[in-house]
Amino acid sequence: MKKIIILLMILNSIYLSGGEISNEAISDSIRTAIDTKLRGRNKNIIKTLYERNGYRPIWIGKQNKHRQSELIKALNNPLYNYKNKPLGSKSIKKLFFLIDNNEISSSKKVKVYARLDILLSNSFASLVRFLVEGDVDWNLLKRKMKALKASDDIEAKWEITPKKMPSVESIIQAIDSDNINGYLSSLIPMRDRYIKLISLLKDYRIMSKLPKIAYTNTIFKIGDRDKRVIEIKKHLQISGDYPKEAPINKNFDAELESAVITYQKRYNLKVDGKVDKIMTYYLNLPVKKNIQQIIANLDKCKLYPKRFEDEYIEVNIPDFNLRYYRNGKRIFKTGVVVGRIDRPTPIFSDKMTYMVINPTWTVPDNLIKRDLIHVLRENPNYLKENNIRVFSGKKEIEVTSADLDQYEHSKRHVPYRFVQYPGDSNALGRVKFMFPNKYAVYLHDTDNKSLLERRYKIYSSGCMRVDRPFDLVNILLTHTNGSYSQARIQQILDTLKPTTIKLTKAIPVHILYFTVYKEDGLAYFKNDIYLYDQMIWESSAGHKKATFKIPDKRFIDVKKNGQKTRKSNTEKRSSKRPLSRTQGGEKHEKSESMEMF
**Residues tagged active-site:** 444, 463
Which amino acid type is present at position 377?
R
Contacts of 251 (CB under 8 A, 6+ apart): 225, 229
- Note whether 584 and 444 are within 8 A (CB): no
263 phi/psi in degrees, rounded to 5: -65, -45
Q: How many CB atoms lie within 10 A of CB 432?
A: 26
**CA 42 from chain center: how many Å?**
29
Contacts of 169 (CB under 8 A, 6+ apart): none
Which 3-state string (H, E, C) describes 327-343? CCEEEEEEEEEEECCCC
Contacts of 318 (CB under 8 A, 6+ apart): 513, 514, 515, 526, 527, 528, 529, 530
> How far apart (Å, rounded) are the C-alpha atoms in residues 582 and 441?
7
> How far apart (Å, rounded) are the C-alpha atoms in residues 116 and 88?
10
- Note whether 207 and 242 are within 8 A (CB): no
* Cα–Cα distances in angstroms (integers) from residue 382 to residues 61, 359, 397, in the given order: 82, 20, 15
The number of CA neighbours under 13 Å toward the Cβ of 540 is 21
Virtual CA dihedral for 89, 92, 97, 98, nearest 10 degrees?
Answer: 150
